[in-house]
Amino acid sequence: MSFRKRNVVLSGTAAGEVSPRRPQTSPIDRGAPAARPGNASLQAALPLRQALGTASPGPGKSSPGPRHRPLRKPTWQPGERTVLSPEEQARLEPEKKRIRAALAKEYEKILRPTPASRLPPLDAGARPSPYDGRPITSTGTASVDQLLAGYGGLVLGHSLLVEEQGTTDFASVLLRAYAAEGLVQGHHVHVLGVGAGWRTELPGLASASSSSSRGKHAQDAASDKMKIAWRYEALAPRPTASPQRGPTQGTPGTPIATFCHTFDLTKRLAPTDIKGTLHASPLPNPLQPSLQPELENSPIRTFLASISASLASTPPSTIHRVVLPNFLAPTLYAMDGWSFPYVLGLFAGLRSLLRDHGRRLTVMLSLSTTLYERHNEYVRQLENLCDNVVELVPLPPGPPSAATKTGSSSSSAHNDKSPADKMQGWFKVHKLQLYSEIGGAGATPQGKSLRENLCFSVSGSKGLVVDPYSLPPIEDDNGKEKSPASTVKDGMEF
């Protein structure tokens, strides 16, 4: 059937004719609608609705008034404004001035920052940052201090989370150096999960002879020729006499305070070098279930209360350090009643202490990413609560390089190894403290990128050292370096 014939059949008219239209009638012409099941109840309630003024008008009728009943007039009478006599106004004028002065003082205290002259002086082991003057303290590891967004140390009121993969314990080297630095500087060190005997496990101060020998070796290495390429020899750093911006020596008879000490892992911290106080808070045995509810008698809650009490009882210039080694490790923390939301809530309380005491408190903790992976939701929230997040990725021991094989007999060759030969793992930077409102953008204020490949190594005399990773120079079988000129000459012989 064609399209035209189908239209004719459906319309019921012949082809070419116009179908007649039905006249449209208004509701008034149609009359009242037929009775419906629900209209009986509406008709019965019509008198009441008309009395309340909520009934809709009929067809063609105007609305008599508002749909809702108007509010009743208040029965109470508003009081008249009291007019004070001149004598009463004169008597209340000093009180008005006193209240206005108190409000203005509070307003100025809230809006205007505290001037630097009113701030308490910094204690030993803290100094203003060379970048913007914020108070900083050392982590006990010089190479880590240089990575913290160019500040030269950990900003007071901030935290550092050290994550580590695998079953190694390189993070404990950083945490013990952090605690030892605080005890040597005279700070209050609060540690959770260990007893008072942990003091005997801290590394001792390096002797002056070893420090001077390392400084001499560094000067000799800087004066040597560069091993990258012979044509870049002129670009090697040379010691030049540059003008100093400040005094390098203190006043006569006053020694310069050391900001970051060097610790020897082969020694133990001597009691004579300890000037601070260690507050140890051991945890209960995880193998023995606790008879008391964990949420009410939490060791972390007690630990936070002890930190708050110590902050309140010490002078405003005293610096406190909080150490959380092996955070949430099953060997230290009992799992009965513990959950990540509960732990994060308590850690948020520790963060509030950091913000309330922004010139007195710092925190460093370590977490195993093998037990708690980084893609876990709660681990991400813990990273958001921390200001600095770094990760240690240890590498399995591999075959020694050519420089290690040929120079293993002499100590000089061992010291001349490049970071690629000495590296024991990768050092990843995930998050750093901000040094401006727009963030760090992955670089220090000096423009040095923090996303480059970093490696770390641990030695007994230097501790943990973080260096940029670079490939070692090409060496022949005899252990001698080949220059590009000699390589080209050997290749041109026929």
Q: What is the pLDDT of residue 413?
A: 45
CA atoms within 13 A on the CB side of 339: 4
Phi-psi sector, 12: left (phi>0), alpha (psi -120 to 50), beta: left
**Which residues of the chain fall below pLDDT 50?**
3, 7-10, 26-33, 222, 225-226, 228-251, 401-414, 438, 441, 488, 494
Q: Which residue has the tokens 């210039």?
A: 317
Q: What is the pLDDT of residue 329?
A: 87
For the whole prediction, is pTM greater than 0.85? no
Q: What is the pLDDT of residue 225?
A: 47
Which of 383, 394, 193, 222 is closest to 303 using CA atoms? 193
Q: What is the pLDDT of residue 246?
A: 37
- Residue 325 corresponds to which tokens in the numbers above? 């080694």
Which of 197, 192, 195, 199 is closest to 350 using CA atoms? 192
User: How far apart (Å, rounded) are the C-alpha atoms in residues 119 and 104?
Assistant: 22
Fold adopted by 122-216+257-285+295-492: Rossmann fold (3.40.50)
Domain definitions of the chain by residue range: 122-216+257-285+295-492
Please state the φ and ψ torsions of residue 268, each to the nearest 5 degrees.
-120, 150
User: How far apart (Å, rounded) are the C-alpha atoms in residues 134 and 435?
Assistant: 9
Q: What is the pLDDT of residue 239?
A: 38
Q: What is the pLDDT of residue 115?
A: 62
Q: What is the pLDDT of residue 354?
A: 93
Under 8 Å between Cβ of 206 and 181 = no
- Residue 81 corresponds to which tokens in the numbers above? 């404004």
Residue 136 burial (CB count, 10 A): 26
User: How far apart (Å, rounded) are the C-alpha atoms in residues 65 and 62?
Assistant: 9
Q: Which residue has the tokens 């220090």?
A: 444
Q: What is the pLDDT of residue 486?
A: 52
